[in-house]
Amino acid sequence: MSDHPISRFDVPGLDDLPDDIRDTILAVQDKAGFVPNVFLAFARRPAEFRAFFAFHDALMESDDGLSKAERELIVVATSARNQCLYCVVAHGAILRIRTKSPTIADQVATNPAKADLTERQRHIVEFALAVADRSADITDADLDEMRAKGFSDDEIWDIGAITSLFALSNRYANFAGIRPNDEFYSMAR
């Protein structure tokens, strides 16, 4: 177990937290067996904690349109582009679980063009990377192209929205130096 700090900012003790936030943290600990550090790092700012996890759950806990695995694929691909260690390691683990593939997360994080993706997955990743890297250049024609490839407007929105949320999340983790728990590295290998 590492003794490196989990954030560059103070992390409050569980006893100092508002009830709802402590409850959320205890629930995730129950389920995962450990507390992912992002919960502890955000806890110093209850309003941001609540908004962030509300955003997260709205976009990541659904199989409507995009599957949960496809949603994690977007997170890993765009977080790797932003070199966010926390998100690549933590969501890489979740992607391995969701896809039952021990290799896809490392592939997508290292070089999406070389990953073993279906055509649909490839379209999702390419659109997500465009939103991550050069959203200013996206035109009506890009959306029409996604529609022509068979994506619904809600699916396109979801790809853009998940990428946007992790543009936020990656930057928080990077400026605050949020450290991934050691547990994530070896999960579902």
Residues that bind a copy of itself (CB under 8 A): 2, 4, 8-10, 44-45, 47-48, 50-52, 54-55, 57-59, 80, 82-85, 88-89, 102-103, 106-107, 109-111, 113-116, 131-132, 135-140, 143, 153, 156-157, 160-161, 163-165, 167-172, 174-177, 179, 182, 185-186, 189
Shortest spacing between CB 22 and a copy of itself, in angstroms: 19
DSSP symbol at 178:
P
CB of 164 to a copy of itself, least distance (A): 4
Q: Which is nearer to a copy of itself, 27 or 58 (CB)?
A: 58
Best CA proximity match to 166, nearest among 81, 75, 52? 75
CB of 54 to a copy of itself, least distance (A): 4
Q: Which is nearer to a copy of itself, 69 or 79 (CB)?
A: 79
148-156 contacts at long range (C-beta below 8 A, 24 or more positions apart): 149/123, 150/120, 151/123, 152/65, 154/64, 154/65, 155/65, 155/66, 156/127
- Whole-number Cα distances in Å, 109 to 13, 16, 81, 112, 118: 33, 37, 8, 7, 16
Amino acid at 76: V
Which one, 9 or 14, has the nearer CB to a copy of itself?
9
Contact 93, 188 (CB under 8 A): yes
Q: How far apart are CB 139 and a copy of itself at their closest, in Å?
A: 6
Amino acid of residue 4: H
| Nearer residue to a copy of itself within complex by CB, 23 or 153 | 153
